[in-house]
Structure 1
């Protein structure tokens, strides 16, 4: 997208949203035809796909790599970080006894993917704002290390990533290749979690935090103002979730089960199906007000097994869980 001032950043983000809304009004086949996509994706094998209907894939507005993924990020000691407010969310990566690393959502909001290596493990830390989905994946597939970029495409309002090595397309919410040579391949989800900067800093005073990337973006702002209180998801034509659950209500997904965040926040701890889920106040919603730090408190979630080990999970919007796990189990506690 090129460098621009903070004011221009907000204007460009708003322009992207307006552009996507215009595209939504055009015939669906305009963006649902591989013959059109091949001009931009000449090395993607569209003859291989797990997508039942090409019309499920839409343009999110910006083209390939206009949202630039971060490669080999720089880190600074927690004690040197002065930009991040206490309530702001970060994705915490603690692997194999390595020094913990925090990836602030204020940066992921504008880059969506960070390709990094932690203790010899190549990882992709990802965040899809339209699904509130923050997932970390192991980038190793069949002896090959992949690196990921942002395709500019959406399916069920969820980011479609691509790998630079085969140009295959990957569904971020499920970590699976859905178009191209690697169709059907599954990435391993790494147990990481989202928490407030204050929680991370207090627990890990000697740890690391990702430094501000060398791009001129409106870091710390939310270009999707009031999104998580909207009645309908953006660029989504699928079914709404059952049980009267609001489409943009948050749920804690573990495998094919989903616990409504409201239920967990009320109980603060739930022990079910061999898992212990806990909720703690203090984390701002990144998708509420224009300033991430001022977002309403949605709390932080941890998921452990009965042995106290971290469990891979995601805190995503209910509509996205229903879209990708239509037969999933809703843990309503009734």
Structure 2
């Protein structure tokens, strides 16, 4: 198994080197701003010092900049039932991004709902995050820097060449240092669940303009035990470690201001609902069985705080006894039609989350 994974990574590096010779991008020297928050600046400087090369050069793992899509019926010929896919829910239509494509590209620069966005996936940390392509007055797309921080993808924005570690979502180097990207949810699920839930969705096509072995994974497999995705230590150094969980245990990472919380996903599958406190506010976590995902919401409705529980497989709040769906909307009782405010979260390996947020609280 080790030789198979090593061969796959060597192949990825080789393809990346071939790509960069025909698509060379020159590093730009930028003047970094001096931040007013000295504690934050010190933290970001420490992050920047710990950035390492991941092997491939800049854009050696090429993002998909002109994504094409096919209907669910056509994608069924390409995807197996238990293949991992990533879903973006939108008012107009849902989009599905197969992991077997993103593992070779890590970033898809797209337009959803009229907004420029980037869907990002780091196979080394098992994290998928959506970012909007506009911050301050800058509109941009993202590329792969070829660097890693805590074994996590370091993106660069093409407008300013600033470095944004994916899990952090904040620039640690460049003219945008200290700036935070606006995120949106990307749901981690499987193809059988996604196509059942969203039969009218658009699915990212393997016609990306690049020649890749989209049926193979250089890191192993999510469908088999004993590969990189569930076993062993990270390939690259991390700043801090914690042994409360296995390194590759999947947690749901949540950040609010300066607070961080990790929920052990398997524990929430058992409890279905969790009422939590974070950054002096109430939040609630619902397990969505239809997609095997976790949805996080604020527990505040105006000045009221709601606490939730399950009864007979249904969700109720204890204060008004109203019924709620996992989508955060009350479906019955005096709160009917009321919606909870969603809070962004994402699946991530424990070692990676802790290495960025060693102060994190842990549920489960």
> Under a length normalisation based on structure 2, what TM-score does the superposition of the two structures give?
0.72
Number of matched residues? 287
After superposition, where does 1:1-334 map in structure 2 within 5 Å? 11=7, 13-14=9-10, 42-45=27-30, 47=32, 50-52=44-46, 54-81=48-75, 82-95=77-90, 97-212=91-206, 213-225=208-220, 226-242=227-243, 244-255=244-255, 256-272=260-276, 273-278=282-287, 280=289, 299-305=292-298, 307-308=328-329, 310-332=342-364
Q: What TM-score comes out, normalization by structure 1 length?
A: 0.78
Q: Would the alpha carbon gap of residues 88 and 311 (structure 1) be closer, same or farther in structure 2, given more than 3 Å must change?
A: farther
2:100 touches 2:216 (CA, 8 Å); kept in 1? yes
**For residues 8-43 of structure 1, what are the alpha-carbon distances to aligned partners after superposition, in whole Å with 9 as ceiling and x for unaligned?**
x9846235679xxxxxxxxxxxxxxxxxxxx97541
Q: Is the 8 A contact 1:91 1:195 kept in 2?
A: yes
Contact 1:46/1:179 (8 A) holds in 2: no
Secondary structure, counterpart of 1:178 in structure 2: coil
CA shift for structure 1 position 156: 0.7
Q: Cα offset for 1:237?
A: 3.5
| C-alpha RMSD of matched pairs (Å) | 2.7
Q: Pick closer, same or farther for the CA change 1:103–1:165 going to 2, 3 Å.
A: same
Following superposition, the deviation at residue 218 of structure 1 comes to: 1.5
Question: Max radius of gyration: which structure?
Answer: 2
- CA shift digits 1:153-172 (9 cap, x unpaired): 00111111001111111111
Return the offset for 1:194.
1.1
Deviation at 1:111, TM superposition (A): 0.2
Q: Secondary structure at the match of 1:239?
A: coil
Instruction: Give the distance between the partners of 1:175 and 1:141, measured in 2 at CA.
Output: 12
